[in-house]
Amino acid sequence: MTELSLKAMQTALRKTTEALATELASPTAIAPEWSETEWLVARAVSAIHGVSALLANKLRWQGPPGWAEFLADQKAHTAKRFVRVQHLLHLIDSRARNEGIALVALKGAALHASGIYSAGERPMSDIDLLVRDEQSQGAVQLIEALGFHESHATWKHRVFKPENCATPAKLGEHADNGITIELHTRIAEILPLRPVDVSELVFPRQPHPGLNDYPSKAGLLIHVLLHASGAMITRGVRLLHLQDMARLSVSMTDADWEEVFRQAATTDDRALWWAYPPLALASRYYSCVPDPVLARAASGCRWLLKRIYRRRTLSDVSLRTCGSLPFPESSGRDRFGKCSRMPQSAWCRARRPVARARCSRQYSPASPVVPGLRCRKADACCAGRCHVRLATKPCSRFAPRWRSGSYDAPTICRAGRLPKLTP
């Protein structure tokens, strides 16, 4: 087993990430010519990006011994876990109907329910639910009655874990891994200068007690795009996100796309400037977005942001640092490189910064900017530069602090590159 330096490991991550993304989009008949270590890195990449089950269905080649078995095992665990998730969703739906609480099943649950994915094809690490703020306490009691307890809360959601939350497998999917529930009262992302809130586009106007669907396919796509756009800032985009966008996009009619822009016009931003980067990225690999739609989304986007994302790749906006990668069969991490040179976590000592939080007050989606901070050059062009640089430009001066839990919300801070932020 060849030892890899940190630089060589990151090269392997980029190489395998791009190769697997291309194979999912356009499968070939010949397996990649990778070393033994690169094949093990590829397992970690497929697990991190949540596409092991999709690769098991899509790939036309077998690969070396152990690769096909790994994908088949992940596919089986994904299918078994899907059954557990569906059972829990049925319980939530039944109790919510009895209690008169209206909920919306978000993202993965909605994509399965709408037929975008077949049963067990897409992994679901948790269940995301949206509830009106006035019914949130009733929803909390409902979830706790199912044997869950609140683990922690962020500005986005409250997280509930089962009383006995087992994690028998740290790499990829396992049928017995605990299922968490994330309860949202708003659907928003903190983007440069201001948050974007699309809650009213996701929650039905006349919901019924129990689990509700998105009011339209346009609302589902807008939520998926906003989620991916927020992930780009922290370099947390996954190949699974591109799959979600691609499969939704190819199922959209001209009327559906028109509805997307009509609904976007009802938001505070009045445009989908933040949707162009994820749409462009998905279209780069899958050619799934009509050119007129892409051009219309780009029309509200600043030129620098458009220029950057015309050439960005998945590995540019996804997790590529090595310190906490769950490599397979790694009882000793030295097999995969000199780990004393690796970061303590994927976010720590990252070469590219994510948003830091310097405020002590809790984020409110109604706030026009991140609370406690103001930007001296708060114009639209500044917003475009912030988004681009946070997602793409290297910097070693700041280390993000997500692991510490001491910050409530990210801000758009950048040493010497962004407009200065002051309390």
**237-250 confidence digits (pLDDT tens):** 999 999 999 999 99
Nearest to 391 by CA among 322, 297, 285, 319: 319
Inform me whether the pLDDT recorded for 223 exceeds 90.
Answer: yes
Pull the structure tokens for residue 198.
């699309």
E strand residue ranges, 132-209: 148-153, 158-162, 180-184, 188-190, 195-197
Q: What are phi and psi of 151, to 5 degrees?
A: -85, -50
Residue 118 burial (CB count, 10 A): 11
Percentage of residues of the chain with pLDDT beyond 70: 73
Inform me whether the pLDDT recorded for 115 exceeds 50.
Answer: yes
Looking up tokens 């997307």 gives 260
What pLDDT score was predicted for residue 164? 79
Percentage of residues of the chain with pLDDT beyond 90: 61
> Angle CA(294)–CA(377)–CA(295) in degrees, nearest 5?
5
What pLDDT score was predicted for residue 168? 65
For residues 349 and 339, give the distance between their C-alpha atoms in angstroms, rounded to a whole number: 14
Sign of CA dihedral 40, 41, 42, 44: positive
Of 4 and 203, more confident: 203
**pLDDT tens-digit readout, 125-153:** 899 999 999 999 999 999 999 999 999 99
Which sequence spans correspond to the domains of the chain? 349-423
Cβ atoms of 406 and 388 closer than 8 Å? no
What pLDDT score was predicted for residue 391? 41
> Lowest mean pLDDT: which of 29-43, 45-59, 93-107, 185-199?
185-199
What pLDDT score was predicted for residue 348? 35
Q: Which run of H or of E encompasses 212?
A: strand 210-212
Cβ atoms of 65 and 164 closer than 8 Å? no
Q: Whole-prediction pTM value?
A: 0.79
Nearest to 286 by CA among 309, 264, 314: 314
Helix axes 276-286, 239-250, angle to 10 degrees: 80
Mean pLDDT of 162-190: 86
Inform me whether the pLDDT recorded for 416 exceeds 80.
Answer: no
**pLDDT tens-digit readout, 345-362:** 333 333 333 333 333 334
What pLDDT score was predicted for residue 1? 58
